[in-house]
Amino acid sequence: MARPATTPALLAELRTYLDQKGAEWEQAGGVDPTLPATRGGKVNVRALMRGFREWGGDRGVAVPESAWQYVYADPAWARDIDAAARAQGLQPTGSTESAKADDAAQSKIGRLAKAAKEQEEGHALARVRLVHLERRLAETEAENRRLRERFALMQRTGSLVRTGDVTE
């Protein structure tokens, strides 16, 4: 790490660099970020610090190669970079927690979708079972009606009427 006396000076230079990147972004219409980004839409700290190092070299400011570590070691560095990143629509440096939260949300959505699908399948099976039971009920009620009619006939006339196979 840089000596403690040089860190505030480097932070001041970083702020100037970020202001310049912000001005470039506004001049370009504010569409594409001028800060380097990962495929996931997060600010790329190492690439940003490489650019800062080159920019500092052109201005005569010695920026160490390990300057990217300051972002994670010193909250002031991260805060400034995060503010510039948010202004350009990028996720901040410490967005791994939000990525974990996004992953957890996606996981929960997946579980809920699976549960909903299982419920839907359960409802379909229940509807099939209900139709089957309604048919059986209708058949049983029809048989019950026929048996009541035969019983009423037997009570009125006193004779039995054979309706089934008599060969047995």
The CA-atom distances, in angstroms, between 52 and each of 18, 34, 47, 161 are 9, 13, 9, 106
Residue of 71, 93, 67 whose CA lies nearest to 82: 93
Cα separation, 85 vs 91, in Å, equals 6
Bridge partners, 91 (sequence order):
42
Which of the pair, 56 or 6, is modelled with greater confidence?
A: 56
Q: Are 13 and 56 in contact (CB under 8 A)?
A: yes
The pLDDT value given to residue 165: 66
Cβ neighbours around 88 below 10 Å, total: 18
Please say if the pLDDT value at position 130 is more than 90.
yes
- What would the pLDDT profile of 75-125 be if each residue is shown by its tens digit? 888 888 888 888 888 888 765 555 566 677 888 888 999 999 999 999 999
Please say if the pLDDT value at position 4 is more than 80.
no
Helix, strand and coil content of the chain, in percent to the nearest 5, comes to 70, 0, 25
Share of the chain above pLDDT 90, in %: 24
Cα separation, 164 vs 68, in Å, equals 95
**pLDDT band at residue 62 using 50, 70 and 90 as cut-offs:** confident
The pLDDT value given to residue 140: 96
Question: Structural domain boundaries of the chain?
Answer: 6-94, 100-158
Cβ contacts of 57 within 8 Å, gap of 6 or more: 63
Region 60-87: mean pLDDT is 84
The pLDDT value given to residue 1: 46
